[in-house]
């Protein structure tokens, strides 16, 4: 009996999560795998945030909230956008959900008609295109490899827009490559979009606080204020505050879109976790030392990883500007053979080999719409990263 609908059959399970699960299974069997596949901070959540969650439970905040969450959290988010991004939003322009991922899904569910196109520069986060497919849309992938700085430019955006275009999907700092769009680069894209009033913009800014060099982060709406009423800004607390398990994301956008997204949420998950909401109030309103300290550590780890990978002959790597990933090109290893004679025909084959023989879990670039690359997360200890680079160097040197 077939249980999957035609839409579900068009998508795959999250590749990064699948690799992580396999790595954990190997670890459970006693294999010394170093898991660099999943984008999850290895730090514990700040103590004052944990205390706020505990107090929320003690004080009886253990029940449903409205679909759009607590007033206190929406106000904290409004204050965050004003304080950190110089953007002014009202509470009725804020949406809260069970992670940034649900916000993206809700936005597509609320707006896409069958056949609507979503322009998605590659490399892209693994779930963007599948979420579009699940909601009846058509992902229109624009490859933006290292020769393009991993970024979409105005000329290529103009060429991609059709009468069916509904959304442009942007992500800065980018997962998996760490590229950051400058104010001028966003403004050039915005000039194109001004000529196409039907096209909406999602700006995924979840890695806003993880900046590895001198290039500053700028929010898309700050760079393109004229597109404010067509832009949904996505953010959350998972990455900056090491709160992945709290599943709390937030977005700012035009009031009518927020109403539609809250409607979909009311009929799916009802509301975000009440306890996570109050923990997030503490995260956003409380001391920000953790965010700054974590970012300094990511900078040190990133520099170490880039130096180590650059020393491996055959890998090509641009220094990531933000987020906590390295995304080296591995074309030199395609066509080689493993010590037991297996042909490496793709970056997926290479990632499988690195996991099986090198005992390092990575994610192939094909999962992000661009190959041949591999993604490595450096959201783990320096000791683990140093050992991982040694194992990668040994495994890659064994290919012939």
Which of 228, 254, 285 terminates a domain? The answer is 285
**Considering the domain boundaries, does residue 329 fall inside one?**
yes
Q: Are 139 and 262 contained in the same domain?
A: yes
**Considering the domain boundaries, does residue 88 fall inside one?**
yes
- Residue-range definition of the domain harbouring residue 389: 6-44+290-397
Give me the pLDDT at residue 19, please.
75
On average, the pLDDT of the chain sits at 96
**Considering the domain boundaries, does residue 49 fall inside one?**
no
Beta bridge partner(s), residue 343: 337
Q: Are 308 and 205 contained in the same domain?
A: no
| pTM: predicted TM-score of the whole model, two decimal places | 0.95
d(CA 29, CA 351): 20
**Considering the domain boundaries, does residue 51 fall inside one?**
no
Q: Are 221 and 278 contained in the same domain?
A: yes
Query: Within the chain, which residues score under 70 in pLDDT?
Result: 15-17
Q: Are 330 and 252 contained in the same domain?
A: no
- Count the domains in the chain: 2
Q: Are 267 and 134 contained in the same domain?
A: yes
* Sheet (strand 363-364) strand order: 325-326, 374-377, 363-364
Q: Are 278 and 299 contained in the same domain?
A: no
**Considering the domain boundaries, does residue 188 fall inside one?**
yes
Q: Are 230 and 183 contained in the same domain?
A: yes
**Considering the domain boundaries, does residue 330 fall inside one?**
yes
Which of 255, 285, 315 terminates a domain? The answer is 285
Residue 258 belongs to domain with CATH number = 3.40.640.10
Q: Are 168 and 245 contained in the same domain?
A: yes
Inter-residue long-range contacts of 56-60, CB under 8 Å, 24+ positions, other chains counted: 56/274, 56/275, 56/278, 56/279, 57/275
Q: Are 281 and 294 contained in the same domain?
A: no
**Considering the domain boundaries, does residue 140 fall inside one?**
yes
Q: Are 368 and 389 contained in the same domain?
A: yes
The residue length of the chain stands at 400
Which of 285, 308, 343 terminates a domain? The answer is 285
**Considering the domain boundaries, does residue 354 fall inside one?**
yes
Q: Are 185 and 87 contained in the same domain?
A: yes
Residue 321 belongs to domain with CATH number = 3.90.1150.10
Q: Are 264 and 294 contained in the same domain?
A: no
């Amino acid at each position: 009996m077939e249980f999957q609908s035609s839409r579900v059959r068009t998508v795959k399970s999250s590749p990064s999560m699948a690799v992580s699960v396999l790595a954990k299974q190997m670890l459970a069997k006693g294999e010394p795998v170093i898991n660099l596949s999943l984008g999850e901070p290895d730090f514990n959540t700040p103590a004052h945030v944990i205390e706020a969650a505990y107090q929320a439970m003690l004080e009886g905040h253990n029940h449903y909230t409205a679909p759009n969450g607590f007033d206190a959290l929406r106000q904290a988010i409004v204050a965050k956008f004003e304080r950190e991004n110089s953007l002014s939003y009202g509470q009725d322009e804020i949406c809260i959900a069970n992670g940034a991922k649900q916000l993206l899904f809700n936005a597509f569910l609320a707006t896409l008609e069958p056949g609507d196109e979503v322009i998605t520069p590659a490399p892209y986060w693994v779930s963007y295109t599948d979420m579009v497919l699940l909601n009846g849309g058509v992902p229109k992938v624009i490859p933006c490899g290292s020769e393009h700085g991993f970024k979409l430019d105005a000329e290529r955006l103009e060429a991609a827009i059709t009468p069916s275009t509904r959304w442009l999907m942007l992500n800065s700092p980018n997962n998996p490559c760490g590229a950051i769009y400058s104010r001028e680069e966003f403004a050039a894209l915005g000039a194109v979009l001004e000529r196409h009033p039907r096209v909406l913009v999602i700006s995924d800014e979840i890695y806003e606080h993880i900046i590895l060099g001198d290039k500053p982060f700028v929010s898309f709406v700050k760079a393109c204020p004229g597109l404010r009423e067509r832009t949904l800004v996505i953010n959350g607390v998972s990455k900056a505050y090491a709160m992945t398990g709290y599943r709390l994301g937030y977005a700012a956008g035009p009031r009518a879109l927020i109403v539609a997204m809250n409607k979909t949420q009311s009929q799916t998950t009802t509301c975000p976790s009440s306890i996570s909401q109050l923990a997030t109030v503490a995260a956003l309103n409380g001391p920000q030392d953790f965010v700054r300290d974590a970012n300094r550590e990511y900078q040190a780890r990133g520099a170490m990883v880039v130096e180590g990978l650059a020393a491996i002959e055959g890998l090509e790597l641009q220094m990531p500007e933000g987020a906590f990933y390295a995304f080296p090109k591995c074309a030199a290893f395609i066509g080689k053979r493993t010590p037991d004679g297996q042909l490496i025909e793709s970056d997926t084959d290479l990632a499988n080999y690195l996991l099986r023989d090198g005992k390092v879990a990575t994610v192939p670039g094909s999962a992000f719409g661009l190959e041949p690359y591999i993604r490595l997360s450096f959201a783990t200890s320096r000791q683990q990263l140093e050992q991982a680079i040694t194992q990668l160097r040994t495994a890659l040197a064994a290919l012939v």
